[in-house]
Structure 1
Amino acid sequence: MRWFIALAAVVHAMQWITLLMNLGYLRRWRPEAHTSGLPSGKLSVLIPAYNEAHNLRTLIPSLLKQDHAHVEFILVDDGSTDETQEVLAGFDDHRLTVLRTQGPPEGWVGKVHALYQATRKATGTHYLFLDADLTLLREDTLSRIDRVFAETPARVLTGLPNLKGGGLLLVSLVASAVLNGLPWPIARMTRRRSLGALNGQCWMVDAETYHKHELHASHRSEILEDVRIGRFLIGSGRPPTLVDLRRDLSVTMYRTLPEAWVGFRKNAYLIVGGTPLAFAALFGVFGFAFSVAPFLSGGLLLSLYALKATTDRFMGMPLWVTALAPVSYLMSSAMQLDSAWHHLTGKVRWKGRLVSPQIAARSQTVPHRTAPDLQV
């Protein structure tokens, strides 16, 4: 048991090194540190929406208040069955284009297909992909993001927004994964794909790079398309820059804890390895380090609380979320096992759609830049 505790201590130490490195890195990569430049070119903001009526009532007004001089908003209603169409019909602005599809064709994941269709209509020089559950917190949010983007070394940006809503015992661990799990400064200096990722809630790339690789079409059947695209880009010499956007964007990922559980279930297995062997190895190491070892070692329990307190304070989480840190990690471990079961049995669903990769027919053909099945 002593050796297992020692291994857990090494895992904690690596997370501390990564966290402190990333916090220093984010002090530079935040809009407040990039105020001298001006937005250049036309910005296309591309948003997928499937049964997002509730969130769109907040998102769209925050978009239409933006002061960016050259921007278009393209929102794809991906076959919604709720009041999404009615909500969208209530907004009239020349910058807003609404497209409608009948849902993803065979071989495509819904969100990936919706964003691909949006890029068929986009006319900007660079694309900002946003989730529908985001809210822009300032009237100059897009201008601020555009200025930072212009100074990123590889012209690829991904954002860390403010996290809010329900299910915070699980949602708060998103920040831990981003800040403790990936060494963003090191990723920029290497082409190791394993260090690459994007936050699919918010990422940005120039249109030329996007269409050179047709980033969504080439990852059409991926549930975890943001991570896969990030790894592809880093392997192509275009490492994403993580930007602190807590003061510019907020995201209400889920409204309740059960909803959060189901939401994370669709991709947790893929994040933790994605194959039975890789999942068993990573789950064994990290599950023991954060869900078992802290109950066997006072030092590791203190480390767990300190790690969680640091990320929670950075993200502005309530104190009760930090106080229940061990519960968060235990719930996360249980949810990962649930995710593995659903993936291995082909039963992963989200908003009524079956999204298991086992039923996605993978194709290597990249469609031409047209969108014949869209309704405008």
Structure 2
Amino acid sequence: MWLILLPLAALTALTVHTAINAALLRRLGPGEPAEVTERVAVLLPLRNEADRVTPCLEALLAQRKVRHLTIHVLDDGSTDGTAELVRSLAGDKVELIAGAPLPEGWLGKPHACHQLAEAAAEADILSFVDADVILGPHALARAATMLRETGTTLLSPYPKITGTGRLLQPMLQWSWLTFLPLRLMERSARPSLAAAGGQWLVADRAGYARSGGHAAVRTEILEDIALARQIKRTGGRIALADASRHATCHMYSSWRGLTAGYTKSLWASFGSGPAAALVVVLLLFLYVLPAAAAPILAVTGFSRASLVALCAYVLAVTGRAITAYATGGRAWPDALAHPVSVILFGWLTARSFALRRRGALTWRGRSL
């Protein structure tokens, strides 16, 4: 019986924590913002993005309420005509930079972001945006305003995620709201208590420079989280915000692309293989065991234990649904399949470690 009571007690606490975080989560609000008078630079790194950069770039060109806005685009050795497409779409409205060859000891995205930040030396605020992100017309002004109002060095406004992966994609927001005390994270100086989503980051230029910027995280697969931790180490503050009303991100269009994207980086989310195994086992114990046990206990005559297991499953589903409502996601019927999401996450984590051990991890044509 204790094997079922323990998940019930833990899930009660975690679901309450999720609800509190959802209520306290910062959000880019609706309506028209006040004009931003500081110099804002949008930094867009591209590598073979011809198939999806058009809506991103058009949205950037349509930004409003930012008086001094510059857009800097870096083509990182694309072979699919990305640079030519950018020129045809934007002409002289953006600065198009030819990326330098990747130096030894650097990963591709940190190097691209580093070059972009150097190109925007006069900006007061830096906004790093991925090619799969589409910003609403007031998104940038809202985010820049929140950055200043909260006094943070790095703001991570997380967009609404679309595309393939309804079972897996919401797991990141769910993990933040379930396990991370968001407001404590903002106040705490501990680098280990940090989170960020690299799809869209907004940074105070001075604090970014003080931290060493992307040069300080040049070897990191998860450069977004590494940058957030580095900013904390150098006296800065970070914050997360829901931006689902103002931004969307179409991360993956196929299951193959999704598995490749998760596999390349999941190993870096944990300190070690044993730590990853412990986390996966704990998630399976809390979120899969009750769902599997409830029908088995019911048909074998353990009705009270079955009811306890069912309650634990309902709590797990409730936590996932709260996350969806808080971040612009789809609650039903996706939340009902949360145990399946956890199983898939565990499988991808194991796959990520296995491929890393074999030296077989690659991304966008580059070995990791």
2:311 corresponds to which letter in structure 1?
Answer: G
Aligned 1:268-307 pairs, distance under 5 A: 268-271=266-269, 273-296=270-293, 297-307=309-319
Deviates most, 237-246 or 11-20: 11-20
Residue 207 of structure 1 aligns with which residue?
Answer: 205
Matched, 1:338 2:345: no
Q: Normalised by the size of structure 1, how large is the TM-score?
A: 0.86
Report SS of the residue matched to 1:45. Answer: strand
- Aligned equivalents of 2:200, 2:274: Cα separation in 1: 31
1:131 counterpart residue number: 130
Q: Which residue of 2 aligns with 1:362?
A: none
Bigger radius of gyration: 2
**Same amino acid, percent of matched pairs:** 26
Structure 1 counterpart of 2:297: none
Separation in structure 2 between the aligned mates of residue 287 and residue 214 of structure 1, nearest angstrom = 39
Q: Determine the structure 2 residue equivalent to 1:163.
A: 161
Matched to 2:59, the amino acid is S
282-291 vs 65-74, which deviates more?
282-291
Counterpart mapping for 1:238-249 below 5 A = 238-249=236-247
Q: Quick one: structure 1 residues 46 and 316, their matched pair in 2 at CA, closer, same or farther if it must change by over 3 Å?
A: same
Q: Is the 8 A contact 1:44 1:71 kept in 2?
A: yes
2:337 maps to 1:324? yes
- SS of residue matched to 2:202: strand
Q: Which residue of 2 aligns with 1:44?
A: 41
| Amino acid paired to 1:153 | G
Shift of 1:293: 4.1
Distance 1:309 1:94, change over 3 A: same
Counterpart of 2:299 in structure 1 is none
Q: Structure 1 residues 307 and 238, CA, compared in 2 at 3 Å: closer, same or farther?
A: same
Structure 2: distance between partners of 1:52 and 1:15: 39
Inter-CA distance 146–154: structure 2 relative to 1 (3 Å threshold): closer
Q: Distance in 1 between matches of 2:193 and 2:124?
A: 27
Question: How far, CA to CA, are the matches of 2:177 and 2:91 in structure 1?
Answer: 38
Root-mean-square deviation (CA, aligned residues, Å) is 2.1
SS where residue 252 of structure 2 aligns?
Answer: coil
SS state of the match for residue 188, structure 2? coil
**1:151 paired residue number:** 149
Q: Is the 8 A contact 2:144 2:202 kept in 1?
A: no
* Mapped contact 2:28–2:142 kept (Cα < 8 A): no
Residue 354 (str. 1) matches residue 367 (str. 2): yes
- TM-superposed CA distance for 1:56, in Å, is 0.6
Q: Pick from 325, 328, 332: which aligns with 1:313?
A: 325
- Cα pair distance change 1:11/1:53, threshold 3 Å: farther
Aligned residues: 350
SS in 2 for 1:72: strand
Q: Say if 1:318 and 1:15 are closer, same or farther in 2 by CA, change over 3 A.
A: closer
From 105, 114, 117, give the equivalent of 2:115. Answer: 117
- 2:216 alignment partner, one of 197, 218, 235: 218
Q: Deviations over 1:235-262 (max 9, x none)?
A: 4332212122111110001001221111
Structure 1 distance, partners of 2:97, 2:325, is 40
Amino acid at match of 1:18: H
Is the contact between residue 210 and residue 234 of structure 2 (CA under 8 Å) also seen in structure 1? no
| Counterpart residue identity of residue 133, structure 1 | D
State the Cα deviation string for residues 37-66 of structure 1 (Å, max 9, x = none).
541310011111111112211101111111
Q: What letter corresponds to residue 326 of structure 1 in structure 2? A: P
Alpha-carbon offset, residue 95 of structure 1: 3.8
- Give the 3 Å change call, closer, same or farther, for CA 281–47 of structure 1 in structure 2: same
Question: Partner of 1:358 in structure 2?
Answer: none
User: Letter of the aligned partner of 1:234 in structure 2?
Assistant: K
Q: In 1, distance between residues paired with 2:133 and 2:333?
A: 24
Asked whether the equivalents of residues 168 and 257 of structure 1 are also in contact (C-alpha less than 8 Å), the reply is no
Q: How far off is 1:155 after superposition?
A: 3.3
Q: CA deviation at 1:342?
A: 1.5
2:22 and 2:322 in contact (8 A); partners too: no
The answer (yes or no) to whether the contact 1:129–1:202 under 8 Å persists in 2 is yes
Question: 1:193 corresponds to which letter in structure 2?
Answer: P
Please report how far the alpha carbon of residue 10 of structure 1 lies from its aligned counterpart in structure 2 after TM superposition.
4.9
* 8 Å Cα contact 1:170/1:261 also seen in 2: no
Q: Secondary structure at the match of 2:198?
A: coil
Which residues of structure 2 form unaligned runs of 5+? 294-308
Distance 1:149 1:34 in 2: 17
Letter in 1 for 2:55: T
Q: Which amino acid aligns with 2:363?
A: W
Q: Does 1:190 align with 2:153?
A: no
Greater shift, 71-80 or 342-351, is seen at 342-351
Q: C-alpha displacement at 1:308, in angstroms?
A: 1.5
Letter in 1 for 2:232: I
Pairwise CA distance, 1:13: 3.7
What per-residue deviation string (whole Å, max 9, x for no partner) do you get for residues 284-334 of structure 1? 222322233432222221122111222223323263423432222211111
Amino acid paired to 2:251: M
Q: Which whole-Å CA distance do the structure 2 matches of 1:176 and 1:200 have between them? A: 17
Q: How far off is 1:7 after superposition?
A: 4.5
